[in-house]
Amino acid sequence: MTLREKFFPVLTIVLILIAIWYVAAVYLNAPFERDTVARAGTTITFSEIVPKTMFQARPVLPAPHQVIAEIWDTTFNKPITSKRSLVYHAWITLSATLVGFGIGTVLGILLAIGIVHNRAMDRSLMPWVIASQTIPILAIAPMIIVVLNAIGIAGLLPKALISTYLSFFPIVVGVVKGLRSPEQIQLDLMHTYYASSAQTFWKLRWPASMPYLFTSLKVAIAISLVGAIVGELPTGAVAGLGARLLAGSYYGQTVQIWSALFMAAALAAVLVIIVGIAHTAVLKRMGVKP
Amino acid sequence: MTSGFLYGAIAFWLTAWAINEWLVRVKTKDRTAQQAIRIAVPLLFGISILVLWEGIVRGFNVPSVLLPPPSMIWTRLINSLPTLWADFRQTFLKSVITGYVMGCGLGFLVAIAIDRSPFLQKGLLPLGNFVSALPVVGVAPIMVMWFGFDWQSKVAVVVMMTFFPMLVNTISGLAAASQMEKDLMHTYAASWFQTLVKLRLPAAWPFIFNALKINSTLALIGAIVAEFFGTPIVGMGFRISTEVGRMNVDMVWAEIAVAAVAGSAFYGIVALVERAVTFWHPSVRGGQTS
């Protein structure tokens, strides 16, 4: 599998998607141009419509270059402290994501250790951990915000808690699987060494769970970002990517919505890649041959 | 008097824990007794959580605007069944089910379609994995703009959210049948279609059901989030956001309870169908549904 073999098909599909996007943009934005002309009482040919659909102020579907221009403008041409800067909003969302992800990881690992070492916890907690994920978190999001505001906690922490709630689940499931992954024969060896359960944990179970842990971390960090963005919706937040989405949808600023969406996508991609790099680094330190 | 509630609740919780510790150590050969214990342990844990919640709220005199006790939520739930049913019908029966069926069906069909083209597979799989990590929820405002406020826009969001997990899982599932089995089909002179129906689809069921289970929770979350961006005056997401604004927190919790039960039931039904269809799979034969 050379790089070219991998890269070429993906590039082709991406180009096809961009082409479809342009066609769709023309198709969806044309009615507006026709209406404008009809109101003015003149006629317009199709070839005149096409260039106009590419540069509308409030298109139904912005053309790709409009979105890219908007992202470029709000990322590099605005000071980072400005409310109009996308970097500023992305940072607010990212900080909540990372705090929530951190808490979720610690909580998830602790719960998993409890579940593996205590049968009553295993039997009683695990079904509820699964059930907890069927509660639409968004339903709780506005509540958490309102409740915490009443106690006087506002800003970053409520959003982070929503991220925590979403991210602890894949980590619990993954780490439980990982801690139980050692073979019986390995556990028996520890037993013959007369190892305590703490020693078995640190020398066998914990190292064995690493691949599972990192796979879960990738899922968890992506889902943390979703949690932080969603946490910004019901709060009527004034800052963050979620707030940009909401504001854009209130005022019909489609270009703003799309650019916030792409920024979120880029953030998710970067976060997952960072976790992936950490994964390979840890496995390398542990002496795993790639 | 109020502290009596607190101590009673804590006593109940500790007793329940002790009973659970004892229950998981019971060794019995009787199948029905084993089944009963498996159900009783998490149930007891759930009840003790509710009792603890009630005790803490009453014991510390937490204002009901912050966190209503379960008894109050239950009363509200019973008293507003018609409203809850209308919301449930709008959100779950119209948006979630329609979107779920369309999204999963579409993902499945596209996977079958590109199954014959390795080039398309190579191009689409990395993209599909990438999109799975994106905050797809962000398309909600765009969909509301395109499809209006009613359930059609929610269906569009749910389709967007469920399509990619289904696509990726079906493609990896179709590759699950081993070369040996494919060779056998080849010696029988089986056509591509026969091989698909008799060998590759059955081998792919575990993967497909994995996607169906993931999607069952995703669909509900997608529909509820989409309702934050504009709805007619009915629906779970709409009710939650308005009742939070009016400080009727007990109603919000009642709605959350309905959503949680609906989500769990949906997931449970999919899991039951999975057990029936993939009865041959080791994870099912062992009596464990993961």
Query: What integer pLDDT is reported at residue A230 of this predicted model?
Result: 80
For residues B230 and B141, what is the distance between their CA atoms, to the nearest angstrom?
A: 8
Do B120 and B42 share a domain, yes or no?
Answer: no
pLDDT at residue B286 is higher than 60: no
What does the pLDDT read at residue A289? 67
User: Any chain A CB within 8 A of the CB of B172?
Assistant: no
| Each residue's pLDDT tens digit, B90-100 | 888 888 999 99
Average pLDDT for B64-71: 80
Tell whether B165 and B251 lie within a shared domain.
Answer: yes
Q: Please, what is the angle between helix A64-76 and helix A254-285, to 10°?
A: 70
Specify the 3-state DSSP secondary structure of B155: helix
Q: Are residues B52 and B194 in the same domain?
A: no
Domain that holds residue B18: 2-62
Q: What is the pLDDT of residues A34-55, one digit of tens each?
A: 787 777 777 777 777 777 777 7
Distance from C-alpha of A56 to C-alpha of A51, rounded to nearest angstrom? 10
Which among B21, B134, B224 is the nearest to A138, CB-wise?
B224
pLDDT of residue A194: 94
- Model confidence at B289, pLDDT cuts 50, 70, 90, reads very low
Residues of A in contact with B45 (CB under 8 A): 124-125, 128
Our CA angle for B248, B254, B257, nearest 5°, is 145
- Which domain CATH number covers B151? 1.10.3720.10
Answer yes or no: is B58 within a domain: yes
Residues 6+ apart with CB under 8 A from A33: A44, A49, A52, A53, A56
- pLDDT of the residue at B124: 79
Asked if the structure places residue B204 within a domain, the reply is yes
Q: What is the DSSP string of B63-121?
A: -TTT---HHHHHHHHHHTHHHHHHHHIIIIIIIIHHHHHHHHHHHHHHHHHHTT-HHHH
Same domain, B255 and B281: yes
Q: Of A123, A136, A233, which has the smallest distance from its Cβ to B24's Cβ?
A: A123
**What tokens were used for B138?**
């962000």
Length of chain B: 290
Residue that finishes a domain, picked among B14, B38, B62: B62
- CA–CA separation, B65 and B248 (whole Å): 7
**Can you give the pLDDT at residue A290?**
59
Residue predicted with more confidence, A122 or A111: A111
Distance from CA of B102 to the nearest CA of A (A): 21
Please check whether residue B226 is in contact with residue B218, taking contact to mean a CB–CB distance below 8 angstroms: no
pLDDT over 90, % of chain B: 12
A250 in Cβ contact with A55 (< 8 Å): no
* Residue B277 placed within a domain: yes
CATH number of A86-285: 1.10.3720.10
Tell which residue, B111, B128, B124, has the closest CA to residue B170. Answer: B111
Interface probe, candidates B225, B261, B288, chain A, greatest A C-beta count within 10 A:
B225
B242 touches chain A (CB under 8 A): no
CA distance B205 to B226: 30
Q: Would you place residue B52 in the very low, low, confident or very high pLDDT band (cuts 50, 70, 90)?
A: confident
Average pLDDT over residues A127-147: 70
Q: What is the pLDDT of residue B287?
A: 47
Q: In this predicted structure, what is the pLDDT of residue A235?
A: 59
CA distance B4 to B58: 9
**Would you call A259 exposed, middle or buried from its count of C-beta atoms within 10 A (0-12, 13-18, 19+)?**
buried
Same domain, B31 and B161: no
Contact call for residues A126 and A64 (beta carbons, < 8 A):
no
Rounded to the nearest integer, the mean pLDDT of chain B is 83
Give yes or no for B124 touching A (CB within 8 A): yes
Greatest CA separation for chain A:
93
pLDDT tens digits, A268-283: 888 988 998 998 899 8
pLDDT band at A236 (very low <50, low <70, confident <90, very high): low
What is the pLDDT, as a whole number, of residue B290?
40
Residues B173 and B276 in one domain: yes
Q: Which of B158, B249, B265, B172 is nearest to B210 (CA)?
A: B172
Determine contact: B241 vs chain A, CB below 8 A: yes
Q: Say which DSSP state B26 is in.
A: -
Q: List chain A residues with CB under 8 Å of B25.
A: 119
Q: What three-state secondary structure class fits B169?
A: helix
Q: What mean pLDDT is predicted for residues A154-178? A: 85
Residue B194 lies in a domain: yes
* Among candidate residues B90, B119, B142, B52, the one with its CA nearest the CA of residue A246: B142
| Residue B268 sits at the chain A interface (C-beta within 8 Å) | no
Mean pLDDT of chain A: 82
Q: Please tell me whether residues B49 and B116 are part of one structural domain.
A: no
Q: How many domains does chain B have?
A: 2
Residue A152, C-beta contacts closer than 8 angstroms, at least 6 positions apart: none
CB proximity under 8 Å: B 72-101 to A: none
Specify if B67 maps to a domain. Answer: no
Question: Quick one: pLDDT at residue B288?
Answer: 45
**Which residues, in sequence order, are CB contacts of A187 under 8 Å at separation 6+?**
A200, A204
For B98-138, what is each residue's pLDDT tens digit?
A: 999 999 999 999 999 888 887 887 777 777 777 776 777 77
C-alpha closest to that of B144 among A238, A203, A248: A248
In a domain, B70, yes or no: no
Percent of chain A surpassing pLDDT 70: 91
Higher per-residue pLDDT: B127 or A176: A176
Does residue A142 have a pLDDT over 70? no
Please tell me the distance from the alpha carbon of residue A167 to that of residue B136, in angstroms, as a whole number.
16
In tens, the pLDDT along B190-238 reads 998 999 999 999 988 888 988 898 888 888 888 888 887 777 788 888 8
Domain residue limits, chain A: 3-60, 86-285
Distances (CA, A) of B195 to A11, A100, B117, B203, B279: 31, 47, 16, 11, 20
Closest residue in chain A to residue B213, using alpha carbons only = A134
Angstrom distance (rounded) from CA A270 to CA A288:
25
B105 touches chain A (CB under 8 A): no
Q: Kindly identify which residue of chain A lies nearest to residue B122, measuring between CA atoms.
A: A9
Residues B30 and B87 occupy one common structural domain: no
Same-domain status, B166 and B278: yes
B138 & B19 share domain: no
B4 — pLDDT class (breaks 50, 70, 90): confident
How high is the pLDDT of residue A2?
Answer: 64
Q: Directed axis angle between helix A241-251 and helix B140-147, to 10°?
A: 10
Provide the shortest C-alpha distance from residue B255 to chain A (in Å).
8
Distances in Å between the alpha carbon of A30 and those of A50, A201, A249, B148?
8, 64, 21, 19
What is the structure's pLDDT at A1?
54
> CA B1, CA B59: separation in Å to the nearest integer?
8
C-beta of residue B23 within 8 angstroms of C-beta of residue B40: yes
B10, B35, B62 — which closes off a domain?
Answer: B62
Q: Does this model's pTM top 0.85?
A: no
Mutate to test the interface with B, among A6, A137, A138, A257 (most CBs of B within 10 A): A138
